[in-house]
Amino acid sequence: MSDLKTIDKKPFELLFGMSSGYVAYFTNRTFEDLFSEHDIDIYSNKYAINGNSKANRLRAFWQIESNELVADVLSALIEYWSQFATAPNENELELMRQCQTVLHRLREIQSLHPSLESVKEIAEVYNDQYLSKQIIRMKASIESDPELVIGTAKELVETCCRTILSERGKPINGKPDMPAIVKAALKELPLIPDVIPEHTRGAEVIKRLVSNLASILHGLVELRNLYGTGHGKEGKTEALTPRHAKLAMGTATTLVMFLFETHKDTEHESD
């Protein structure tokens, strides 16, 4: 799901004339071809949740897909539009500038944290179907069930740590809390190459950073228990919001990417 807000969508809506149901100068064929260049079947049922018009399919696309993919496709749409708008007026040029600002922000957000798709790729490398299911569950539930996302984020990190420890012949038993299980995984991972000066001090700093991320995620799970649904609270208790879900998801994916990549890059050193 992209981070496009309603105000972000407005310049694209206006520039492409989407109120008519069309998108700029696209025919059904050229619209399909452009998305195909990004390995997307825009006419699949997945993108028909808002209706069958090109405009509604584009709205579904930027609602469903990641910041990176949305930014790439919207950029291609703008480029296509500019080829036909041979003499854009001042209003259209201003809309283009606004669109480019939005695309820049989307790419900045994407660069701040690893995407769920990146973590899913790691899961596929490890052939871990359970891990993949956790990622799919989070991605599908940000808006509809933030509490589920927060709980699943915790499970994602736990699965990651247990997989790493098992792969390194140090399986962990019982049900330790989040900081403890992350600490156990960190103990088995060489965080910084030995050849780097101040290796020991650097490793301690990284351990502290990763442990802090684990503590944040553990705290979010506690919040879910307090404010989420299904824990026997009063009927008027407010649930957490999608922004809390995104915080949990971002924290979990940052942890998982770092731990799994460190494990993958240094696995031979544990032999």
Task: Render pLDDT for 126-149 as a digit per residue (tens, 0 to 9).
Answer: 555 666 677 777 777 877 888 888
pLDDT at 112 (0 to 100): 44
| Residue of 238 and 254 predicted with greater confidence | 254
Query: Confidence class of residue 35 from pLDDT cuts 50, 70 and 90?
Result: very high
Report the distance separating Cα 251 and Cα 254, nearest Å: 5
Task: Judge whether 119 and 159 are in contact, CB under 8 Å.
Answer: no
The DSSP string of 47-67 is: G-TT-SSHHHHHHHHHHHS-H
Task: Judge whether 63 and 1 are in contact, CB under 8 Å.
Answer: yes
pLDDT at 117 (0 to 100): 58
Report the distance separating Cα 109 and Cα 99, nearest Å: 16
Q: Flag whether pLDDT at 29 surpasses 90.
A: yes
